[in-house]
Structure formats: structure tokens, C-alpha cells
Amino acid sequence: MTVGDGSADWLTLADWRRRLAQLYGEVRERAATDPGSAWDHWRATRDELYRAHPQSPVPAADRGAFRGNYWPYDAGLRFEVDVAVAAPVVAPDATTDAAPAPRDVPSPTIRLSLPMSTGEALEFTQIAEVRIPFPGRPRTLALFWMAGYAGGLFLPFRDATNGASTYGAGRYLLDTAKGADLGGDPSAGRLVLDFNFAFHPSCAFDSHWSCPLAPPENRLDLAVEAGERLS
């Protein structure tokens, strides 16, 4: 097969997303009985993709030596939480012309633009909140649906590790448009949130990427020492 006019880039991008979706499918299956083993598999496979795949966010010159850094697995930071429909937090530029919701899902009324690392803001709809029973006391994070692009659940967060051991603008926990989906029980309105799988956006590796960032309401007042770290 001959590929030209940039088609190879589109095909490798499709392959990148395919491999990530496959990885998270394997993670969900393994985590049903052994979350620690699922996490080991996630780290090993993800690191190999970041080293070798042409669509890796790591700059090409650095890929061969890439090794991910992670905190040890902490079983106390894996949760299955209720997804609570709540009045969205209205950003200053929020509008009421939300994109149509998926069929059979109540249509939220407020759409907002999340800040970006570079470039124009992307629009999201805050569809719910999740209350996470962290040790000490619970905290609440906003759960978003991407209004454009491929759609999908999106859960970014910031915490007290940012700017030191993690990227200053935060990390992602869910980004189902890219395959990062830890599962849950939709019939019961529940999601799996395992902070051991928290990962950096692409812009943490190379500033030429443009990434949506966590809004103020998703800044946690504690250090989440789990998942990917910078060093």
C-alpha cells in the first residue's frame, strides 16, 4: 500500500487511538479482579507506546530513552463513585446554547470553555459532579462532556503536587475521546475513578501540543501522590 500527501500521519493517529482504546479495554477487564495487575499492564504498555509509536507526545529525539515515572500503586485511591447530576458551575463566558446531548441523556443547559495550554479554548458541558471519599474528608470534582471533537467524558484535576512532582497545569483521570476510560456501571450511575491511572496531558511532554486544562472547581486541596509523576 502506498501512502502519500500526509495520509501516513492520519493512519498512525488512528492506530494510536486504536491501541489506547485496546489498552484501556484490557485494563478494565483485568481490574475487575486485580487492579494492581491492571495498573502494571497499563504502565508497561503505555511506556512502550510513548517510546516507539510515531504519534507519541514525547519529542522524537527523547523517545528512545523515555521511561515513565509513577508513584507506587495505592489501593486506597481507587473508588467507584456515584455520578450526581448537579447545577453546573458557570464560567464567566458560559452560554446556554449547549450542544445536543447524546440520545436518551437529559440535555444540560450550560456550556463552558475550558482553558487551554495554547490556542483557542475548547467547549465542554459540565454534566455532573462526583463526590470522592478521599481519606480525611470527601472532595467533589466536576465531570465534563466534550461538546465538539469526538465527544466523550473528560475529568481533569489539579492537586498540591502540581508544579513540583507533576505538571503545573494538572493531570487527567478520564478522557474517553482518547480511550482513557476506567469503566463503571451506567445502569447504576456509577464510574470507576482510580487515581493510580492519573496521567499527564500531551502538553506536559512537548509545548507544541494544545491541551484543555483543569478549571478552578477541579483543584483539589490535597496532594494526590498516585499515578504519573514527572520525576
**Which value, to the nearest 10 degrees, does the dihedral of the CA atoms of residues 120, 124, 130, 136 take?**
10
Q: In this structure, is residue 163 part of a structural domain? A: yes
Average pLDDT over residues 84-105: 51
Q: Do 224 and 155 form a contact (C-beta atoms < 8 A)? A: no
Mean pLDDT confidence for 142-147: 89
For residue 206, tell me if it sits in a domain. yes
The x, y and z cell numbers of residue 206, run together, are 512537548
Residues 167, 219: Cα–Cα separation, whole Å: 13
Q: What pLDDT sits at residue 99? A: 45
Which element (helix H / strand E) includes 111?
strand 111-114
If you ran DSSP here, which 8-state letter would residue 91 be given? P
SS3 content of the chain, % helix, strand, coil (to 5): 30, 25, 45
Q: State mean pLDDT over 38-55.
A: 98
**Is the residue at 1 inside a domain?**
no
Q: Is 12 a domain residue?
A: yes
pLDDT per position as a tens digit, 122-136: 678 899 999 999 999
Q: How high is the pLDDT of residue 137?
A: 95
Host domain of residue 203: 7-229
Residue 2 domain flag: no
Query: According to the model, what pLDDT value does residue 86 have?
Result: 58
Considering the chain, what is the average pLDDT of its residues? 86
In percent, the amount of the chain with pLDDT more than 70 equals: 80
Domain membership flag for residue 13: yes
The mean pLDDT value for 139-148 works out to 89
Return the higher-pLDDT residue of 82 and 213: 82
Q: Per-residue pLDDT for 157 more than 90?
A: yes
In this prediction the pTM is 0.85
Q: Give the model's pLDDT for residue 97.
A: 45
Q: Domain tally for the chain?
A: 1
Let me know if residue 61 belongs to a domain. yes
Residue 149 pLDDT: 63
Q: Is the pLDDT assigned to residue 188 strictly greater than 70?
A: yes
114 — pLDDT class (breaks 50, 70, 90): low
Q: Measured between alpha carbons, how far is 22 from 17 in angstroms, rounded to an integer?
A: 8
Residues 50-68 have pLDDT tens digits of 999 999 999 999 999 999 9
Kindly tell me the sign of the dihedral angle through the C-alpha atoms of 159, 162, 166, 171.
positive
Which residues are CB-contacts of 90 (< 8 A; sequence separation ≥ 6)?
A: 110, 112
What is the pLDDT confidence band of residue 92, given thresholds at 50, 70 and 90?
very low
